[in-house]
């Protein structure tokens, strides 16, 4: 699989601040990358569990989940973290906004970014 292309795409989204362009036209954005059909489907559907299972670098999967405003407990659950740890984080961070989940700055969560 071309998991290095997924990492390259995520780097472009996360570090170059291109998530808005990706989110506006995911399929069109992905055309610039040599992705397998499974990778495209996982990226289009925010399926971090599938990306992780494909062997995409865990930090790239984490960054992708953050860009998609996935709460940290949900991310950990998706990649198979121990249930007690996920529940512990849920109790600490709650299930509210992404900022409350500890993954994005609060100004972005409020629509500022």
47-86 pLDDT, tens per residue? 999 999 999 998 899 999 989 998 887 888 888 878 787 7
Please give the average per-residue pLDDT across 30-35, as a whole number.
95
User: CA 46 → CA 15, 62, 66, 88, distances in Å?
Assistant: 18, 11, 11, 24
Q: What is the CA radius of gyration of the chain?
A: 14
Cβ pair 8, 33 in contact under 8 A: yes
- Measured between alpha carbons, how far is 28 from 22 in angstroms, rounded to an integer? 8
Please give the average per-residue pLDDT across 26-40, as a whole number.
95
Using DSSP's 3-state secondary structure scheme, residue 90 falls into: helix
- Residues in Cβ contact with 60 at an 8 Å cutoff, skipping those fewer than 6 apart: 6, 7, 10, 11, 51
DSSP code, position 96: S
CA angle 11, 78, 13 (to 5 degrees): 15
pTM: 0.73
- Tokens of residue 89, six digits: 């984080």
**pLDDT of 99 over the 60 cut:** no
CA 27 centroid distance within chain:
16
């Amino acid at each position: 699989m071309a998991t290095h292309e997924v990492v390259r795409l995520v780097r472009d989204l996360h570090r170059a601040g291109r998530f808005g362009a990706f989110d506006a036209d995911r399929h069109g954005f992905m055309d610039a990358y040599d992705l397998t059909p499974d990778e495209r489907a996982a990226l289009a559907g925010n399926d971090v569990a599938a990306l992780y299972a494909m062997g995409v670098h865990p930090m790239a999967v984490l960054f992708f989940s953050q860009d998609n405003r996935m709460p940290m407990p949900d991310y950990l659950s998706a990649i198979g973290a121990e249930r007690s740890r996920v529940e512990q984080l849920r109790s600490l961070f709650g299930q509210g906004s992404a900022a409350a989940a500890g993954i994005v700055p609060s100004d972005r969560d409020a629509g500022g970014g």
